[in-house]
Amino acid sequence: MSFAERYAPAQLARMREHDLVDLAQNGNRAAFQELIARSRDGCIRMATVILRNPADAEDEVQNAFCKAYTHLSLFGRQSTFSTWVTRIVINHCLMRHRRSQRLRFVSYENTGYGNGWHVVHEPVGVETPEHGVGRDELNNILRSELRRIPPLLRVPLEMRFFQERSVEDVADTLGISIAAAKSRLHRAQVYLRDRMLRHCGRRGAATLTRVA
């Protein structure tokens, strides 16, 4: 048995990522599987955010893992393995989304970013049945409007405000500059704000249905 193959699963589970990558790049499939196991949940969540379909998400995550295995020698360790493989997952999902929706995606890498941030805060107070119904309706509308945001903008928005990740982490995971991440976040918030404002008309939710 070669040096690369002689580790038991329990030993691999205790190893640092750096050592696992060394083994995997030297042909140890068990080490690669351990790296994948540590990254899988986050990749599934990210794929589901983009594709909105658990089955499609599973397919693209599996495709991305296969690609990561065949291109493992290209992993230069400028980031963590989980960040690297998450980028592959995101690229696979965006390509699938483009094929299915035939949408145009625009890169905002070189777009400037203003200093304004638009964060929505829900009021807090005494909970009543009416409050509960209103909150549920608002959440349903918000989820519906989030699905209308193109994935290129929606993904960083959900990473930042729903997964509570830092802007630096968002940029690193997406493989873009911090300025580009801020630009996408800003544009996504403006996009979402404008959509939500349409619900403030006299028809309430019907306002959106009439103009969408």
Tell me, yes or no, whether 193 lies in a domain: yes
Tell me, yes or no, whether 59 lies in a domain: yes
Compute the distance between CA of residue 165 and CA of residue 48 in angstroms, rounded to an integer.
17
Which of 83-92, 104-113, 142-151 holds the top average pLDDT?
Answer: 83-92
Same domain, 81 and 20: yes
Same domain, 207 and 149: yes
Tell me, yes or no, whether 117 lies in a domain: no
Where is the domain boundary, 51, 84, 101?
Answer: 101
Domains identified in the chain, total number: 2
Same domain, 26 and 94: yes
Express the helix, strand and coil content of the chain in percent, nearest 5 each: 70, 0, 30
Tell me, yes or no, whether 114 lies in a domain: no
Query: What's the Cα-to-Cα distance from 47 to each of 36, 64, 101, 162, rounded to whole Å?
Result: 15, 10, 16, 15
Same domain, 150 and 200: yes
Same domain, 39 and 77: yes
What pLDDT is recorded for position 160? 83
Same domain, 83 and 142: no
What pLDDT is recorded for position 150? 84
Q: Is 29 left (phi over 0), alpha (psi -120 to 50) or beta?
A: alpha
Residue 160 · residue 90 · CB < 8 Å:
no
Domain of 167, in residue numbers? 129-211
CATH number of the structural domain spanning residue 46: 1.10.1740.10
CB count in 10 Å sphere of residue 61 = 26
Same domain, 46 and 136: no
What pLDDT is recorded for position 140? 64
Same domain, 76 and 136: no
Q: Would you give the DSSP letter of residue 178?
A: H
Q: Work out the percent of the chain whose per-residue pLDDT is above 70.
A: 70
Tell me, yes or no, whether 109 lies in a domain: no
- Best CA proximity match to 15, nearest among 41, 37, 40, 35: 35
Tell me, yes or no, whether 190 lies in a domain: yes
CATH number of the structural domain spanning residue 182: 1.10.10.10
Residue 33 · residue 16 · CB < 8 Å:
no
> Per residue in 48-90, pLDDT tens?
888 888 899 999 999 999 999 999 988 988 889 999 999 999 8
